[in-house]
């Protein structure tokens, strides 16, 4: 059966989706959503909502290769101000780099076991890290010192994210729990017994009223932040174990990756899968995907064939493949303001690569 069947069965739905995802990809905090423009004349399903002629393609090329990790990399994240890149992996430390120069700046040392995830506060001052030692550390990045030590998870902490205001942190662990933390006090406010297996991703929506989580039990769940109630459950399918999920920048959609080598864009309110992105290889590892909105509207993801794939968000077409890593690419991140992508690999590679598209940024 055609995996794209039904994706374009309603031109009205697809055009509405295109306008919303493309024209309102990154609304600033507390900025009201942009009004929906008038519906244009019907266009072919693959045409963009407002382009004429061929669609632009990205032209990323390698700028820096960062070496220093001695064990598999698990996450790379740009600071919200774009000045720093943080990375972590199995060797217990967080590394801080300059993405502009490729220079290594410092290690954040304190965890006693390996790390699975990191997340920046919105002011780029603090960084949270999730460790197999069952703790979360909030670091003051400039000094390299631990600001808060968060204890409560009973097993490995696998994933975490701040809300936009950075007064809350959400984390997921291998015990199936999702925890919501008060970052100022360093205390757990709420524990959600969310899943029956490893929680592999957690993410707040833009106003922090909702949390999305996914786990190796195959389920994506939407939670009410204030009372901890499960509002929606999305199932990928028996052969599609979801292992990464996040809200779109406008919080209207959810992007998920799964072990059937497929990335899906969901309307979580209707639980409808709107778009499917294929072509990469993802059958075993927890590989992240992310949105890129600085120089076009792309989806970016790593792959088990050692490459990084870039799709056109609207047409689902692969528009560029980045080659250079010599092992599986599990971590990807996009710069908040520049056409820059960071990728991280495991085992025999252990490198972070910074890729840059020199074309002007989107308005």
State residue 56's pLDDT score.
85
323 near 280, Cβ under 8 Å? no
pLDDT band per the 50, 70, 90 thresholds, residue 26: very low
Looking at per-residue pLDDT, the higher value among 334 and 42 belongs to 334
pLDDT band per the 50, 70, 90 thresholds, residue 30: very low
First to last CA, the chain: 40
**Does residue 148 surpass a pLDDT of 90?**
yes
For the chain, give every domain's residue range: 72-288
**Does residue 35 surpass a pLDDT of 70?**
no
192 near 172, Cβ under 8 Å? no
Per CATH, the number for 72-288 is 2.130.10.10
State residue 240's pLDDT score.
73
Residue 223 sits at φ, ψ, to 5 deg, of -120, 145
State residue 99's pLDDT score.
98
**Strands of the sheet with 318-322, listed across from one edge:** 289-292, 298-302, 308-312, 318-322
Name residue, tokens 């994706």: 7
154 near 170, Cβ under 8 Å? no
pLDDT band per the 50, 70, 90 thresholds, residue 63: very high
Looking at per-residue pLDDT, the higher value among 9 and 249 belongs to 249
Interval 137-156 mean pLDDT: 96
Q: How far apart are CA 59 and CA 359, in angstroms?
A: 8
In 3D space, the residue among 55, 20, 66, 49 whose CA is nearest the CA of residue 340 turns out to be 66
pLDDT band per the 50, 70, 90 thresholds, residue 12: very low
Weakest mean pLDDT among 37-41, 55-59, 84-88, 229-233: 37-41
- 170 burial (CB, 10 Å; 0-12 / 13-18 / 19+) is buried
pLDDT band per the 50, 70, 90 thresholds, residue 28: very low
pLDDT (tens digit, 9 = 90+) per residue, 247-262?
Answer: 999 999 999 999 999 9
pLDDT band per the 50, 70, 90 thresholds, residue 360: confident
169 near 119, Cβ under 8 Å? yes
Interval 125-135 mean pLDDT: 97
Q: Where are the alpha helices (DSSP H) in the chain?
A: 11-23
SS3 assignment, position 18: helix
Q: How far apart are CA 190 and CA 156, in angstroms?
A: 18
State residue 217's pLDDT score.
85
Q: How far apart are CA 196 and CA 191, in angstroms?
A: 14
3-state SS of 293-311 is CCCCCEEEEECCCCCEEEE
Residue 346 sits at φ, ψ, to 5 deg, of -115, -175
State residue 332's pLDDT score.
98
pTM: 0.85
**Does residue 52 surpass a pLDDT of 90?**
no
Looking at per-residue pLDDT, the higher value among 281 and 12 belongs to 281
**Does residue 43 surpass a pLDDT of 90?**
no
pLDDT (tens digit, 9 = 90+) per residue, 180-191?
Answer: 999 999 999 999
355 near 322, Cβ under 8 Å? yes
- Please provide the average confidence, as pLDDT, over all residues in the chain: 87
Residue 338 sits at φ, ψ, to 5 deg, of -110, 160
Q: How far apart are CA 110 and CA 137, in angstroms?
A: 8
pLDDT band per the 50, 70, 90 thresholds, residue 238: low
**Sequence-distant (≥ 6) Cβ neighbours of residue 232 within 8 angstroms:** 221, 222, 268, 269, 271
State residue 55's pLDDT score.
74
Angle, CA of 47, 51 and 54, to the nearest 5°: 75
pLDDT (tens digit, 9 = 90+) per residue, 305-327?
Answer: 999 999 999 999 999 999 999 99
Within 10 angstroms of residue 30's Cβ, the number of other Cβ atoms is 9
**Does residue 169 surpass a pLDDT of 80?**
yes
State residue 268's pLDDT score.
92
Q: How far apart are CA 339 and CA 321, in angstroms?
A: 15
State residue 38's pLDDT score.
41
Angle, CA of 254, 257 and 261, to the nearest 5°: 140
109 near 137, Cβ under 8 Å? no
**For residue 121, what are the CA distances in angstroms to 95, 250, 273?**
16, 19, 31
Interval 261-279 mean pLDDT: 95
Interval 294-304 mean pLDDT: 96
Residue 20 sits at φ, ψ, to 5 deg, of -70, -45
pLDDT (tens digit, 9 = 90+) per residue, 176-217?
Answer: 999 999 999 999 999 999 998 999 999 999 999 999 999 988
């Amino acid at each position: 059966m055609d995996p794209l069947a039904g994706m374009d069965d309603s031109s009205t739905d697809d055009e509405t989706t295109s306008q919303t995802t493309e024209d309102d990809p990154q609304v600033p905090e507390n900025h009201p959503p942009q009004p929906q423009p008038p519906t244009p004349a019907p266009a072919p399903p693959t045409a963009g909502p407002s382009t004429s002629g061929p669609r632009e393609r990205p032209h990323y090329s390698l700028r820096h290769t960062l070496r220093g990790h001695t064990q598999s990399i698990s996450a790379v994240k740009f600071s919200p101000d774009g000045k720093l890149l943080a990375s972590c992996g199995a060797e217990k430390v967080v590394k801080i780099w300059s993405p502009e120069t490729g220079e290594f700046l410092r290690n954040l040392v304190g965890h006693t076991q390996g790390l699975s995830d990191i997340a920046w506060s919105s002011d780029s001052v603090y960084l949270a890290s999730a460790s197999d030692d069952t703790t979360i550390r909030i670091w003051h990045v400039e000094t390299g010192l631990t600001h808060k030590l968060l204890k409560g998870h009973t097993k490995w902490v696998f994933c975490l994210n701040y809300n936009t205001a950075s007064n809350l942190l959400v984390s997921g662990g291998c015990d199936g729990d999702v925890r919501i933390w008060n970052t100022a006090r360093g205390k757990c406010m709420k524990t959600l017994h969310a899943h029956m297996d490893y929680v592999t991703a957690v993410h707040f929506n833009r106003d922090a009223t909702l949390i999305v989580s996914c786990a190796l039990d195959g389920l994506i769940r939407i939670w009410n932040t204030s009372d901890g109630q499960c509002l929606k459950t999305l199932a990928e399918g028996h052969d599609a174990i979801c292992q990464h999920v996040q809200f779109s920048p406008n919080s209207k959609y959810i992007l998920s990756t799964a072990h059937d080598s497929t990335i899906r864009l969901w309307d979580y309110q209707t639980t409808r899968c709107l778009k499917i992105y294929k072509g990469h290889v993802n059958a075993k590892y927890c590989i992240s995907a992310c949105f890129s909105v600085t120089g076009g509207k792309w989806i970016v993801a790593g792959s088990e064939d050692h490459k990084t794939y870039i799709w056109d968000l609207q047409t689902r077409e692969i528009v560029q493949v980045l080659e250079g890593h010599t092992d599986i690419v599990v971590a990807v991140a996009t710069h908040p303001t520049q056409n820059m992508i960071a990728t991280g690999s495991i085992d025999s590679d252990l490198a972070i690569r910074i890729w840059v598209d020199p074309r002007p940024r989107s308005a």
